[in-house]
Amino acid sequence: MKFKAFLTENGVSLLEKRFLPALDKMGKICHLYLTRDHAFFLHNLLNGDGIQSVAQFRKEALFDDYRISSQNGDRIAFAVDVSLLHRALRSSVSICTEFGTGATANRLQIKLVKKLPANSTQPMPFLSLETKGFKSAVIQDVPISKPLSRTHLLELQTALGLAQDLPRTLVQVPDLNQLQSFVDRMKHVGDLLSVSIAKYGDLHVQISTTLITLGAEFRKLLVVGDQAEAPAEDRNVSAQTRSSRALLRGDAQTVQVSVKHFAKSLCYHLAKPDCAFYGIAPQGACLTVIFQFFIPGSRQMDKSISLHCRLPVLDPASS
């Protein structure tokens, strides 16, 4: 089992400045899953509860000179502490910029190693970051879990496949920061958020307890997938009436999710996505949030990076 690659400059800045801070907010531990062509950062794919999150990079988006081999069809997966990886990467970057001269001098190598830690007789696996300066080399070893067995790897691969299904209707959220500050304030009022998405481009979120009902409605959002014209008779009614009418017509879906999960998903604005879409999976299986990235300086989607998460739906009766 071998993995060795050089992080590109773009890869370093993507991970250090954008993705690792965002992924760290999602959860301390994630699985890093490496295949011949892709690197994935996966949260909560193997255990049922919590937000499932998938960040996928084509190898060229992060690495060059990428070499991987294993007996599981050149696939390797292990659990890693995101904040440790972020810290190690940050300090490697500062060393790179401090000592680096020329294009080749400050390359950052990342590889899988087994080492004997101090006071131990058992060799342990590490993800090792190596920076070669002019006169010195700095190596940082980030401890990782034992690589996943063939069975677990298959499980992860299956879960990843299942996590890729798209909702029929997706609406684009106009302003992530604003939605985040709104949800952060709403958090104080209740725990359960009901989210309705209509084919007309309506997103309606609401918290309802015995003492208070508090909600927000965003209309005329950009719709991707199934869409419909908003009926004229709905124009002058309350947000709640509009939502329930759309549900009755079969033009909308609604699910209940944890406010905390919803707020957490919004932390992905740290990864600086260019746009975000919300959608409800068929049969109301989950609330899906898809973040898109553009090729810098264009409005074209960067297909080498993808990020999405799936919020578990809560049964209103059980809460």
Partner 1 sequence: MDSDAPDLVCQLDNVQGMVDALTAVRWKRHQDAVIELSEHGIVLIVEDSNCLQAKVYLQRELFVRYEYGAQGRPRFGLSLGLFVDCLNTFSVPGHSSAIEIRYPGPDMQLLLKSVESLDSGIYAEMRTRIPETISWDYNFEPEWSTPLTFTVKTAALKEAIDDLEWPGASIQITLQPAPPSVTFRGDGHGDLQIDFTYYANPDLLIAFHCDRQVSHRYKYKFLRATTSNIPGSVVRDNRGSKLTIGRGGLLKVQHLVSVARTSTAHPHIDSAGYQQPSRIAYIEFFVKPEEEDTADD
Using the contact rule CB under 8 A, the part of the chain among 30-38, 75-83, 177-185, 254-262 near partner 1 is: 177-185
Shortest Cβ 210–partner 1 spacing (Å): 7
Asked if 238 touches partner 1 (CB under 8 A), the answer is yes
Using the contact rule CB under 8 A, the part of the chain among 62-70, 95-103, 182-190, 263-271 near partner 1 is: 182-190
Scored b (16 or more CB within 10 A) or e, 40-76 reads: bbbbbbeeeebbbbbbbbebebbbeebebebebebbb
Beta carbon nearer to partner 1, 72 or 240: 240
Quote the tokens at residue 50. 């919590």
Instruction: Give the separation between CA 199 and CA 139, rounded to whole angstroms.
Output: 53
Q: What is the CA radius of gyration of the chain?
A: 22
Quote the tokens at residue 138. 């700095």
Shortest Cβ 264–partner 1 spacing (Å): 18
Beta carbon nearer to partner 1, 55 or 186: 186
Asked if 65 touches partner 1 (CB under 8 A), the answer is no
Beta carbon nearer to partner 1, 128 or 206: 206
Shortest Cβ 313–partner 1 spacing (Å): 24
CB under 8 Å to 162, separation ≥6 — which residues? none
Q: Which residue has the tokens 């944890």?
A: 258
Shortest Cβ 138–partner 1 spacing (Å): 42
Instruction: Give the separation between CA 307 and CA 54, rounded to whole angstroms.
Output: 6
Instruction: Give the separation between CA 140 and CA 128, rounded to whole angstroms.
Output: 6
Using CB under 8 A, count the residues that bind partner 1.
23
Binding-site member from 113, 239, 301, 314 for partner 1 (CB under 8 A): 239
Asked if 241 touches partner 1 (CB under 8 A), the answer is no
Let me know the angle formed at the C-alpha of 267 by 266 and 268, rounded to the nearest 5 degrees.
Answer: 85
How does DSSP assign 42-102, residue by residue? EESSSSSSS-EEEEEEEHHHHEEEEEEE-TTTS-EEEEEEHHHHHHHHHHHHHHHHHH--H
Shortest Cβ 100–partner 1 spacing (Å): 40
Q: What is the dihedral of CA 25, 30, 34, 35, to 10 degrees?
A: -100
Shortest Cβ 197–partner 1 spacing (Å): 15
Binding-site member from 94, 164, 181, 241 for partner 1 (CB under 8 A): 181
Between 184 and 223, how does the x/- string for binding to partner 1 read (CB under 8 A)?
A: -xx-xx--------------------xxxxxxxxxxx---
Beta carbon nearer to partner 1, 90 or 272: 272
Shortest Cβ 201–partner 1 spacing (Å): 9
Q: Between residue 74 and residue 103, which ones bind partner 1 under the rule CB under 8 A?
A: none
Scored b (16 or more CB within 10 A) or e, 229-264 reads: ebeeebeeeebeebbbbbeeeebbbbbbbbbebbbb
Shortest Cβ 174–partner 1 spacing (Å): 8
The residues that touch partner 1, with contacts defined as CB under 8 A, are: 175, 177-178, 181-182, 185-186, 188-189, 210-220, 238-240
